[in-house]
Chain A
Amino acid sequence: MAYKAPMKRSWWLQHAAFRRYMLREATVLPLVFALCCLLAGLWSLQTSAQFHAWQQFMAQPWVVAFNLLALVGALYHALTFFQLFPRVMPIRLGEKQVPAALMVVAQWLGVVAVLLAMLWLATSGVLGAWQ
């Protein structure tokens, strides 16, 4: 006496909002690849021959392309995450709430700060001196 529509396997194709959600979730795939590359790099540090082979592998155009895709994916995921964060952990000062836009900007500033720190580490020679 009643009808229940079945949930199709393709439900996530039915609406733009669901397609955006699936895109966000799918960014994990190229990220897993980039992570595997990094782990392989760490493992290859054992001998110089291995490290050389790893460098050659990493220089292949398709590997570079996948890693670029991972970078774009990570940035897109960060964008969505930073926007959601103020809604999940709102900071309240008395009756007022810290504006979401301010928290989003603060998170991106954090990213820039980390990037600059890495750049400094790579270029300043601190790591070389440490060896």
Chain B
Amino acid sequence: MSEQRFVQVEVVRYLPENKTPEKDEPFSQFFEVPYTESTSILDALQYIKEELDSSLSFRWSCRMAICGSCGFMVNGTPKLGCKDFLRNYPNGVRIAPLAHFTVERDLMVNMEEFLVHLEAVQPFLVEEQQAKAQGVQKYTETYQQTPAQLAKYKQFSNCINCGLCYAACPQFGLNPEFIGPGALALAHRYNLDSRDHGKAQRMKVLNGHNGVWSCTFVGFCSDVCPKKVDPAAAVNQGKVESAKSMLIQMFKGNS
């Protein structure tokens, strides 16, 4: 058995019902939490909810870094609560809701702000949709893809929509209309897919005011991504594609 120690956990909370005309702000609450080598940030929050204060709200589901619902700011850096451990913070830790999002309650943010951008880039195989619309049965056929075709986009397909990259992106913080790293990475993932036919539609979004050119390659999104998607690389490869498509448009004379 590993020995049990205690660490101070600061949780930034927000309770909308406590709102007064003068004050509508988050506040900090401090807890002493026991931990071992294997206590995750999420375990700590669950300990607090079960043993110390049952009014604490936060999201989680899989506890194995695949559902993407337990994103928090841990000492100022976006992390998955189930993939980060108290042992990394022997001098205390501060858990806050994901930055740049609207806080609904305690550690729960409004993920809708990310999902609308995700929807805007049509993160799915577009031909399938078209085929359905035209009543063609093509989508029931098996798609074939060579390993080389798969390798092109595989890295960018590992996204779990956790939103950590949005909490790491100052451009999204400054301009919430910016499509943002995660959605742009998925747009790139489908643009690179040999089975897809939706690139022309996606490029309209990527070329636009809130598309790839709003990115200044801060690069922090790629540092915090728990799935090593490297969204910054995807966005900047998107800039190359965007430049190409805009040049082509120019020569066609319908810019």
A: residues with CB less than 8 A from B are 1-5, 7, 11-12, 14-15, 17-18, 21, 25, 84, 87-90, 92, 94-97
By a CB distance below 8 angstroms, the chain B residues around A90 are: 233, 237
Q: Which candidate, B51-59, B117-125, B196-204, B216-224, is the interface stretch facing chain A?
A: B216-224
Closest 3 CB pairs of A and B: A87-B233, A88-B236, A17-B220
By a CB distance below 8 angstroms, the chain A residues around B77 are: 15
By a CB distance below 8 angstroms, the chain B residues around A3 are: 14, 16, 24-26, 102-103
Taken together as a complex, chains A and B put the C-alpha atoms of A17 and B76 apart, in Å, by 11
B143 CB → nearest A CB, Å: 18
Number of interface residues of B (CB under 8 A): 35
Task: Report whether over half of chain A's contact residues are helix, strand or loop; otherwise say mixed.
Answer: mixed
1/0 per residue, CB under 8 A from A, across B139-155: the answer is 00000000110011000
B232 within 8 A of A: yes
A92 CB → nearest B CB, Å: 7
By a CB distance below 8 angstroms, the chain A residues around B92 are: none
Question: Which of B102, B170, B223 sits near A11, CB closer than 8 Å?
Answer: B170
Taken together as a complex, chains A and B put the C-alpha atoms of A15 and B233 apart, in Å, by 21
**Is A18 in contact with B218, judged by CB distance below 8 angstroms?**
yes
Taken together as a complex, chains A and B put the C-alpha atoms of A17 and B230 apart, in Å, by 15
A109 CB → nearest B CB, Å: 23
By a CB distance below 8 angstroms, the chain A residues around B62 are: none
**Is B152 in contact with A4, judged by CB distance below 8 angstroms?**
no
**Is A88 in contact with B240, judged by CB distance below 8 angstroms?**
yes
Interface CB pairs A-B, < 8 A, 14: A2-B110, A4-B103, A5-B99, A5-B103, A17-B168, A17-B219, A17-B220, A21-B219, A25-B216, A84-B217, A88-B233, A89-B240, A95-B148, A97-B151
Identity of the chain A residue whose Cβ is nearest the Cβ of B170 in the assembled complex: A11
Taken together as a complex, chains A and B put the C-alpha atoms of A88 and B240 apart, in Å, by 8
CB contact under 8 A between A95 and B220, given known A3-B103, A87-B232: no
**Is B102 in contact with A4, judged by CB distance below 8 angstroms?**
yes
Question: Which of A12, A14, A95, A97 sits near B147, CB closer than 8 Å?
Answer: A95
Known: A2-B104, A87-B232, A94-B148. 12 other contacts (CB 8 A): A2-B16, A2-B103, A3-B14, A3-B16, A3-B24, A5-B99, A14-B76, A18-B220, A88-B233, A88-B237, A88-B240, A90-B237
CB contact under 8 A between A87 and B76, given known A3-B102, A95-B147: no
**Is B218 in contact with A11, judged by CB distance below 8 angstroms?**
no
B174 within 8 A of A: yes
CB contact under 8 A between A7 and B173, given known A15-B77, A88-B237: yes
**Is B170 in contact with A18, judged by CB distance below 8 angstroms?**
yes
By a CB distance below 8 angstroms, the chain A residues around B151 are: 92, 95-97
Taken together as a complex, chains A and B put the C-alpha atoms of A21 and B174 apart, in Å, by 16
B55 CB → nearest A CB, Å: 17
A22 CB → nearest B CB, Å: 9
**Is A11 in contact with B110, judged by CB distance below 8 angstroms?**
no
1/0 per residue, CB under 8 A from A, across B48-76: the answer is 00000000000000000000000000001
Identity of the chain B residue whose Cβ is nearest the Cβ of A8 in the assembled complex: B173
B128 CB → nearest A CB, Å: 25
